[in-house]
Structure 1
Amino acid sequence: MSVGSFYKQSASGGLITLQPAAADIRAFESFAAACPKAAAVAQRRAINKTIGWLRTHIARTVSKEQRIAQRAVRQRLRSYLAKGSAVSGKLWFGLNPIEASRIGRPRETKNGVSVAGRRYVGAFYKRVHGGNPDIWIRTASKHFRAADYPDSDLTSPLHRGGQRRGSMDADQYGRFPVAKAKVNLDTVRPAFDQWTRRAHQRLLEILRQELNYELHKYLRKSPRA
C-alpha cells in the first residue's frame, strides 16, 4: 500500500519521494476503477508538476537563506519524473560543500577574494594546475580557516608530506599545498521534512485538479442519458 511522500538523507544528499497514498485518491475510486489509464495519467502529471514546483521552491529558498546564486543551487537538484507505470517521482538535492566560486561572481581585492557577500581574506582567484578558476588559499597562510575550506584534511601526515590521500582535491598536494574555498550546505538538512510536507500538500491539490480534468473529459465523451 502506498504510504505517501517521504524523504531520506545521506552524507552527500537528500532524496524526496513524492507519491499519493491510497487514502489520498479514495474520493476518486469509482472513476479510477472505470478509467484506470486516465487516472494513472492524472497521477503522473500531478507528481511531475509538483516536482517542478518543489525544485523551484527549494532553489529560491536555499539561494536566499544561504546567499548562493540560484543557478548554483539548481545544478545540485536532480529530478526523476514519473514515467510509464510509475506511481512516484523523486527529487535529489546534493549536500556536499559547494565551491565558493560558483555561488556568485568572485572579485579579487587587495586583501583576498569576495563573492556573494562572503570574504576570503588571504585567498586568491585563479586556475591551479589547470581546470576552471577557483578561490584558493595556501594552507600555511595565517588567514586559513577550516570552516571556509571544508574537505581540507590538514591533519594527515600524508598531506603534509605532499602525497595524495583519499578523495581530497588533488590541488591540495605538492610543494605549496592550497585549499579550495567552499560553502557548507549542512544547515539546510533540517528543512527536508518541511519541504516534503509542503510538497505533499501541493501534490494533493494538483492531483485533485488533474483528476477532475480527466473526469470532465470522460463525462464529455460518455453518451448522455
Structure 2
Amino acid sequence: MSEPLKVQLDTRQVNDLLNGLPPAAMQAAWRRTLRKTSTWVKSQIAKIVAKDTKVPQKVLRQRLYFFLRSRDAGKVWLGLNPLQANRLGTPRQTRRGVTVGKHRFAGAWTMAQRAPAGPVFQRTGKGRYPIAEVKLEWDAPGEAAFRQVAAQVEARLLVVLQQEVNYELHKALGRIGRHGTR
C-alpha cells in the first residue's frame, strides 16, 4: 500500500466566514462541519467502491470511521483489509461453488450443517487440508476512491461551513430579535 493520504486546506476563507460569530458559536459550527463532511466522505467512498466492486455499501460503511482528533481537526480511517466472502451477503451453495451477493466463487463451499451463513472455504492445494477462507480484495478500488473523494473535500467543507455559519448567525439574530438584547 502507498503512503498515507493527508489533505491540507487553506483556512483563510474559513476565518473570513467565522469572524462575525462569538467563539463558542464558531467552534460549534466548525465541529458540525467536520462531522457532516466526514459523513459525506464516507457516503461518497462507499458509493464509488460499491459501484466498482459490487460490494454492498452497508459493508463498506462499516470499514469507514471518523475521529475528531482535536477541537479543529478530524481524521477519516478506511480499513482496506480483504472482506470475508460471507460478509457480502448470504452464501448459497451451487453445483459449481458458492454464490454470495453478486459474486461467484468456483469450487468453494460452506459448512452447511455447522454454520450455513458462516465462512466460505476454497481448496488451495492438492492435499486434503490445504484450504483457506475465501476473501475479496478491495484495497485498490478503495484507495482510488479515497483519493478521488479527498480531492473534493475542500470544496465540500466550505459549502457545509457556509451553511453552518449561516445557521449560527440566524440563531444569534433570533435570540436578539426575541429578547431585544443578548
TM-score after normalising by structure 1: 0.67
Conservation of the 8 A alpha-carbon contact between 1:68 and 1:103: yes
1:31 corresponds to: 20
Conservation of the 8 A alpha-carbon contact between 1:105 and 1:116: yes
Residues 1:77 and 2:59 aligned together:
no
2:44 corresponds to: 57
Matches within 5 A, 1:13-162: 21-32=10-21, 35-81=22-68, 86-126=71-111, 133-141=118-126
Give 4+ residue runs of structure 1 displaced > 6 Å after superposition: 14-17
* 1: CA distance, partners of 2:28 / 2:47: 29
Conservation of the 8 A alpha-carbon contact between 1:51 and 1:81: no
**Which amino acid in structure 2 is aligned with residue 22 of structure 1?**
T
Write the deviation string for residues 7-61 of structure 1: whole angstroms up to 9, x where unpaired. x966xxx6776x85421313225314xx111111101111111111222222222
* 2: CA distance, partners of 1:134 / 1:15: 33
Q: What percentage of residue pairs aligned between the two structures are identical?
A: 36
Conservation of the 8 A alpha-carbon contact between 1:16 and 1:92: no
**Which amino acid in structure 1 is aligned with residue 132 of structure 2?**
A
* 1: CA distance, partners of 2:153 / 2:71: 18
RMSD (Å) for aligned C-alpha atoms = 3.1
Q: 3-state DSSP class of the match of 1:31?
A: coil
Write the deviation string for residues 43-99 of structure 1: whole angstroms up to 9, x where unpaired. 1111111111222222222222211122211221112147xx610222211001111
Aligned residues: 177
TM-superposed deviation, 1:199: 2.7
* 2: CA distance, partners of 1:16 / 1:195: 12
Q: 3-state DSSP class of the match of 1:133?
A: coil
* 2: CA distance, partners of 1:72 / 1:208: 32
**Which amino acid in structure 1 is aligned with residue 169 of structure 2?**
L
Higher helix share: 2
Conservation of the 8 A alpha-carbon contact between 1:106 and 1:114: yes
**Structure 2: gaps of 5 or more residues:** none
C-alpha change, 1:140 and 1:91, in structure 2 (3 Å) is same
TM-superposed deviation, 1:184: 0.7
* 2: CA distance, partners of 1:220 / 1:111: 67
TM-score after normalising by structure 2: 0.81
1:169 corresponds to: none
**Structure 1: gaps of 5 or more residues:** 1-7, 142-159, 161-174
